[in-house]
């Protein structure tokens, strides 16, 4: 399986681009699309899923141009958009039966597949409950089930964990990881730990442009020696925020422990610490903004 984007761009108005000049190639596995809000992640996904056409460039699925031949990707596509709606008066099972019918699955195949997916997403016990009674996390699990109902070769999920509690986020990541073999999974989010826990590669977008595409380990290694922790007073915290990219803060009885991204040791008592993917992400964005 292979998804290739060449010089992909989407212009909404003169000098207003959702994405611009994106070159990207993805093989089987989980690929994180990371960037701040407004970076162009959803625009890129709408093009990949053939919901929107690019202004420039094109995309290829297994060598076939999907702009000229959208059916080649639609036939094997599973898609969970950022705003996922359900029919609230249907049960979980009825909703998945409806999606399976739209996907062209025969009844026998659909019944087997739906049983598998309800088990995978831990929804078996509520299969006959109406969707209006489901929590946000449960609806998201229904969303991933419908995206997988046709056993897609290309799975695209856009901001799937926004609004979910930590337990639901972990459960969702486990579902994605367990279904990633033998398919291309494109996972878009601005929640870095979701990418760190699941992705084989990371594509970083900012202002509609591709900043880098590499594996998480390489991105983190490039930040080694640029992350520090030290204690500051509460009165000095704002000054630290103005001078450095602050990754996190922890309130303590004797002040505030800050974790900062800096090319040089910010204070004599600052301790160099092992970077995370979130540190690496902030470091890359900061360096790009400084250019």
Give the residue among 34, 5, 30 at the shortest CA–CA distance from 183.
Answer: 30
Q: Please spell the DSSP secondary structure of 25-92, one letter per residue.
A: EE-SEEEEEE--TTSSHHHHHHHHTTSS--SEEEEEETTEETTT-THHHHTTEEEE-SS----TTSBH
Give the CA count within 13 Å in the CB-facing half-sphere of 42: 11
Give the residue among 214, 181, 222, 167 at the shortest CA–CA distance from 195.
Answer: 214
Tokens of 51: 């919901």
For residue 234, how far is the Cα from the chain centroid? 34
State how far the Cα of 219 lies from the Cα of 256, in Å rounded to an integer. 28
State how far the Cα of 148 lies from the Cα of 85, in Å rounded to an integer. 16
pTM over 0.85: yes
Tokens of 21: 């000049």
Sign of the alpha-carbon torsion through 38, 42, 44, 47: negative
Q: What does the pLDDT profile of the chain (291 residues) look like in tens digits?
A: 999 999 999 999 988 999 999 999 999 999 999 988 889 999 999 999 999 999 999 999 999 999 999 999 999 999 999 888 899 999 999 999 999 999 999 999 999 999 999 998 899 999 999 999 999 889 988 999 999 999 999 999 988 887 778 888 888 888 888 888 889 999 998 788 888 889 999 999 999 999 999 999 999 999 999 999 999 999 999 999 999 999 999 999 999 999 999 999 999 999 999 999 999 999 987 665 443
Span 191-249, pLDDT tens digits: 888 888 899 999 999 999 999 999 999 999 999 999 999 999 999 999 999 999 999 99
Name beta bridge partners: 256. 232, 251
């Amino acid at each position: 399986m292979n998804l290739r984007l060449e010089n992909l761009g989407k212009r909404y108005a003169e000098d207003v681009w959702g994405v611009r000049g994106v070159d990207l190639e993805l093989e089987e596995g989980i690929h994180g699309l990371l960037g701040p809000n407004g970076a162009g992640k959803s625009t890129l996904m709408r093009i990949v899923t053939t919901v929107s056409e690019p202004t420039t460039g094109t995309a290829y699925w297994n060598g076939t141009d999907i702009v000229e031949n959208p059916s080649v990707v639609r036939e094997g596509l599973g898609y969970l958009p950022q705003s996922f709606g359900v029919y609230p008066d249907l049960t979980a099972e009825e909703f998945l039966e409806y999606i399976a019918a739209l996907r062209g699955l025969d009844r026998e195949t659909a019944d087997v597949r739906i049983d598998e997916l309800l088990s995978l997403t831990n929804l078996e016990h509520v299969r006959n409950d109406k969707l209006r009674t489901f929590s946000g996390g449960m609806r998201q699990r229904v969303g991933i089930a419908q995206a997988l109902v046709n056993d897609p070769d290309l799975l695209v999920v856009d901001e799937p964990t926004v609004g979910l509690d930590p337990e639901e986020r972990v459960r969702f990541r486990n579902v994605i990881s367990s279904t990633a073999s033998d398919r291309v999974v494109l996972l878009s989010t601005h929640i870095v730990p979701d990418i760190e826990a699941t992705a084989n590669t990371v594509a970083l977008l900012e202002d509609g442009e591709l900043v880098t595409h590499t594996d998480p380990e390489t991105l983190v290694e490039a930040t080694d020696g640029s992350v520090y922790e030290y204690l500051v007073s509460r009165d000095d915290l704002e000054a630290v925020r103005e001078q450095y990219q602050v990754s996190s803060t922890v309130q303590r009885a004797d002040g505030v422990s800050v974790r900062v991204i800096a090319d040089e040791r910010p204070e004599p008592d600052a301790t160099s610490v092992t970077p995370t993917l979130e540190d690496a992400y902030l470091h890359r964005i900061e360096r790009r903004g400084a250019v």
